[in-house]
Amino acid sequence: MSYLRCKLYADSGREKLCTRHSIRLDQLIELVSERIRHYVQSCYKLKELELPPPPDTRRDALEQEQKSLTTQLERRSQALKNLYLDRVSGILSEGQFVELNQDFLAEKSRLERRLAQIDIELGERAEPLEQAALMERARELLKLETIPRELVVALIEKIEIGEKDRETGKQEIRITWKF
């Protein structure tokens, strides 16, 4: 067990400007943790707190472009079929058919390449965190089972430990908060 003792008593040498009072470190840590939890829980009611999912506008834009390109690709495929039927029916000459066929095939190839790029980029983009998982993580963090030292330093100005009452065994602990 570790104890904290009065700094004034320890530093005063023979003058003894204070009494020799101390407190167990584990008890002090637990008391400070309880008070910090109390303040955090009074400020943040997780049942009332609903976090909106973060918008992923780039992902939305890619999905919209993917839909548009898929529709265009289907139209080009249908146009190629109609082009072939027009050639067989004699509506188009050999030269017209070859020229239009090359144009449609080039456009179809370009659309397929862009669709492949979009698929790769969408695959690389992480799915946004689900709302339930995000809320669960927030609840875990706000439970504050172990209080990070940085949080204690940020919230507490000083802690004063009084002398232990010999009759009741109680000891006054005053926390001066930075807020």
What tens digit of pLDDT does each residue of 95-104 get?
Answer: 999 999 999 9
Same domain, 157 and 144: yes
Lowest mean pLDDT among 8-22, 54-68, 162-176: 8-22
What is the extent of the structural domain holding 8? 3-49+132-177
Rg (the chain; Cα; Å): 36
Question: Does residue 119 share a domain with residue 68?
Answer: yes
Instruction: Give residue 82's pLDDT.
Output: 92
Counting the structural domains of the chain, the total is 2
Give 19's pLDDT tier (boundaries 50, 70, 90). Answer: confident
Select from 90, 111, 128 the last residue of a domain. Answer: 128
Average pLDDT, the chain: 84
Q: For residues 29 and 173, what is the distance between their CA atoms, to the nearest angstrom?
A: 12
Query: How confident is the model at residue 21, as a pLDDT?
Result: 80
Same domain, 14 and 61: no
Q: What is the pLDDT of residues 105-132, one digit of tens each?
A: 999 999 999 999 999 888 877 655 566 6
Share of the chain above pLDDT 90, in %: 27
* Distance separating alpha carbons of residues 37 and 47, to the nearest angstrom: 16
Do 62 and 42 share a structural domain?
A: no
Indicate the range of 32-36, 50-54, 74-78, 109-113 predicted with least confidence. 50-54
| Minimum mean pLDDT range among 68-82, 83-97, 107-121, 123-137 | 123-137
For residue 70, pLDDT beyond 60:
yes
Say whether both 37 and 69 belong to one domain.
no
